[in-house]
């Protein structure tokens, strides 16, 4: 990939994410809501954001494939395409519906399974987190690095739980175990922002067992480019198209947390 192409892709990620973010802000308090599944909400703001994102991307790259949360099956061959845009137009829909300002737009580009560029945009705070393969990660142009925390007991960790959590869920068992061994554990409701703040060094670890590619594509690249480690939840290779993951600020913390959670619940 030449530098000019990566520059154009990154600029498109940001322009698309900001276009989606404008739709979300414009529709705050005026949207309609429905359930896709129990406790899993979608609004017409999600759909308007995705439409705005698509317009920006296809105006510049009309031949590329597209996978978005609100139209995941629109292009069944997208995962095999040379270039695929992976988009979450509103990550944190439940937060958005309740007026809780913890949501974001996530836009990433992959070549096969290789992530090339990604942006997570927080339209409320106005923060734009970005990354490009081999070139680093930034928040509003300032380079980001993961924290230097190496021990579980000093870690501020965060978790993504499914929309509907069973009492006997292994996700919940992870949360309980981590709460006993970490300095603190959070659940924010936005995987994209979790990754962004892990890359920035404000969080030290993040994991999920059940997640979608559009939730994490930009964030995984961001954390890796900021010096962090991302694997599958069991420590194997992270899979973009069937993602579960454990992400941490560095190798030492990643290994320690993997071992600690693994002792209780694999």
CA–CA gap between residue 30 and residue 169 (Å, rounded): 35
Tokens 């276009």, located at residue: 19
- SS3 of 24-53: the string is HHHHCCCCCEEEEECCEEEEHHHHHHHHHH
219 and 104 part of one domain: no
Q: What pairing do the DSSP bridges indicate for beta strands 156-159 and 205-208?
A: parallel
185 and 218 part of one domain: yes
128-147 burial code (b ≥16 CB/10 A, e <16): bbbbbbeeebbbeeeebebb
76 and 204 part of one domain: no
Task: Using CB atoms within 10 Å of the CB of residue 198, give its burial: 0 to 12 exposed, 13 to 18 middle, 19+ buried.
Answer: buried
CA–CA gap between residue 130 and residue 137 (Å, rounded): 6
CA–CA gap between residue 84 and residue 29 (Å, rounded): 32
197 and 108 part of one domain: no
State which of 143, 162, 187 marks the end of a domain.
Answer: 143
The pLDDT, as a whole number, for residue 40 is 56
State which of 87, 118, 143 marks the end of a domain.
Answer: 143
18 and 139 part of one domain: yes
**Lookup: tokens for 90:** 């509103």
- Range 113-129 average pLDDT: 97
The pLDDT, as a whole number, for residue 167 is 87
205 and 247 part of one domain: yes
Domain containing residue 206: CATH number: 3.40.190.80
Q: What total number of domains does the chain contain?
A: 2
Share above pLDDT 70 across residues of the chain, in percent, rounded to a whole number? 91
16 and 133 part of one domain: yes
CA–CA gap between residue 245 and residue 239 (Å, rounded): 8
Over the stretch 33-91, which tens digit does the pLDDT of each residue have? 766 655 456 678 889 999 999 999 999 999 999 999 876 545 555 677 899 999 999 99
56 and 118 part of one domain: yes
| pLDDT(27) > 80 | yes
Tokens 């992400």, located at residue: 247
- Enumerate residues 6+ apart whose C-beta is below 8 A from 246: 205, 206, 207, 230, 231, 232, 233, 235, 254, 257, 258, 261
- Residue pair 130/144 in contact (Cβ under 8 Å)? The answer is no
Over the stretch 205-251, which tens digit does the pLDDT of each residue have? 999 998 999 999 999 999 999 999 999 999 999 999 999 999 999 99
Domain containing residue 33: CATH number: 3.30.540.10
**Where are any strands of DSSP class E within the chain?**
33-37, 40-43, 65-68, 84-91, 104-111, 114-122, 127-132, 136-139, 142-143, 156-159, 184-186, 205-208, 229-231, 245-248
**What kind and span of H or E run contains 81?**
none
Q: How many CB atoms lie within 10 A of CB 94?
A: 16
| Average confidence score pLDDT of the chain | 91
8 and 139 part of one domain: yes
158 and 242 part of one domain: yes
166 and 80 part of one domain: no
**Backbone φ and ψ of 59, nearest 5°:** -65, -30
Share above pLDDT 90 across residues of the chain, in percent, rounded to a whole number? 77
205 and 178 part of one domain: yes
Range of the domain at 129: 3-143
């Amino acid at each position: 990939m030449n530098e000019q192409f990566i520059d154009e892709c990154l600029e498109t990620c940001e322009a698309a994410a900001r276009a989606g973010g404008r739709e979300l802000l414009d529709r705050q308090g005026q949207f309609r809501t429905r359930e896709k599944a129990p406790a899993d909400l979608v609004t017409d703001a999600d759909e308007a954001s995705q439409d705005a994102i698509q317009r920006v991307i296809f105006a510049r790259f009309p031949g590329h494939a597209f996978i978005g949360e609100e139209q995941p099956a629109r292009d069944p061959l997208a995962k095999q395409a040379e270039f695929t845009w992976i988009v979450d137009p509103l990550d944190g829909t439940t937060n958005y519906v309740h007026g809780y300002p913890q949501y974001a737009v996530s836009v990433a580009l992959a070549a096969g399974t290789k992530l090339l560029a990604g942006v997570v945009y927080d339209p409320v705070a106005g923060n734009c987190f970005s990354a490009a393969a081999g070139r680093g990660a930034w928040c509003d142009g300032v380079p980001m690095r993961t924290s230097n925390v190496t021990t579980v007991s000093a870690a501020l960790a965060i978790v993504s739980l499914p929309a509907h959590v069973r009492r006997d869920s292994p996700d919940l068992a992870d949360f309980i175990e981590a709460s006993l061994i970490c300095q603190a554990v959070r659940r924010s409701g936005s995987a994209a922002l979790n990754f962004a703040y892990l890359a920035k060094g404000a969080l030290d670890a993040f994991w999920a067992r059940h997640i979608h590619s559009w939730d994490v594509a930009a964030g995984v690249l961001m954390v890796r480019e900021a010096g962090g480690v991302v694997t599958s939840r069991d420590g194997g290779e992270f899979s973009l198209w069937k993602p579960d993951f454990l992400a941490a600020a560095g190798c030492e913390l990643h290994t320690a947390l993997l071992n600690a959670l693994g002792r209780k619940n694999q």
